[in-house]
Amino acid sequence: MDLAMTDATAPARSWLFVPATRPDRFAKAAGSGADRIILDLEDAVAPNEKVDARHGLTSAAIPRDVPVYVRVNSALTPWFEDDLAVARTLAIRGILLPKAESAAHVERAAKAIAPRHVIVPIIETASGLWNVLDVARSPRVERLVFGALDFTLDTGIHDADGAFDAVRSRVVLASKVAGIAPPVDLVTLSIDDQELLKRHAARSRNFGFGGKLCIHPKQIAVTNEAFRPTDEEVAWARALLDELASRPQDAVFAHNGELVDRPVIERAKQIIATAPVGSDRPGTTKTLT
């Protein structure tokens, strides 16, 4: 199966960055347990290394057992067009588009990459947030990413005391209105603080995000776990759907003392659809060195 063509409904909880300058890490990243891999030509590559990193991708072994994306440099940089030209030749799922501030930025990328590739715009500026619905509705957009670090640099708004709540809500709602996959939330910079990561990932899920950016393999298992239904949720959903099967004529009924109607039934179906077949609980992640 060619995972460059995997559809957007495949798991997309953990998105692991790998510097494009480190092709020796690509295979290890693919085996780390991450749902998606990002080969990074932007922040992970110094300006004087951009050309070599870009050319290195043309001969690198791109993993085929997990969807792979390339984060290109933004349309505001001199590297943009050349990055897209190389990405076009690669067996990847698509590109991450930094500082996507308008539909025009997405359209420029769409014209340059291969027809099979998708685009994942990163919303990380005030202009990008202002125009987020137009960006989300652009052709070839699979989902959005909220890039908080650059958003803070651009706006002066810091992720404290709920300051990003309105931003997260806007990105999630724009994704829903546009009919694209749930967005991906910002990175957690602390690599070893697993409790902090759990809280951040739970917050992302509660806001309606479908996944989270990761900067180290240590973050993958916790992130994957946070975006799967809990055992309690799965048990509740199965019991509710079993009762529904025994009374298909009822549009509304009581289950364990609670009213059940169409939205509740659909929620139960969503939980079962996203419940893991196997086990990917914390402790199973491989190390990337």
Give the model confidence (pLDDT) of 105-118 as tens digits: 999 999 999 999 99
Closest CA to 17 of 3, 38, 1, 48: 38
Q: What pLDDT, on the 0 to 100 scale, is given for residue 10?
A: 73
All domains in the chain, ordered by first residue: 3-226 (3.20.20.60), 231-274 (no CATH)
End-to-end, the C-alpha distance of the chain in Å comes to 28
Max CA pair span of the chain = 67
Q: Which residues of the chain have pLDDT under 70?
A: 1-9, 276-289
Residue with the two structure tokens 């070599």: 52
Distance CA 109, CA 100 (A): 10
Give the model confidence (pLDDT) of 63-118 as tens digits: 999 999 999 999 999 999 999 999 999 999 999 999 999 999 999 999 999 999 99
Closest CA to 15 of 282, 211, 274, 225: 211
Report the predicted TM-score, pTM, of the whole model to 2 decimal places. Answer: 0.84
Cβ burial of 274 (10 Å; 0-12, 13-18, 19+) is: middle
Cβ pair 3, 24 in contact under 8 A: no
Q: What pLDDT, on the 0 to 100 scale, is given for residue 159?
A: 86
Q: What pLDDT, on the 0 to 100 scale, is given for residue 7?
A: 52
Chain Cα centroid distance, residue 30: 15
CB-based contacts of 286, cutoff 8 Å, min separation 6: 28, 31, 32, 33, 217
Closest CA to 94 of 12, 178, 27: 12
Q: What pLDDT, on the 0 to 100 scale, is given for residue 150?
A: 95
List helix spans (H) across the chain.
26-30, 50-59, 80-87, 103-112, 126-130, 132-136, 148-155, 165-178, 194-207, 220-226, 231-246, 262-274
Q: What pLDDT, on the 0 to 100 scale, is given for residue 235?
A: 85
Kindly give the pairing relationship between strand 184-185 and strand 118-123.
Answer: unpaired
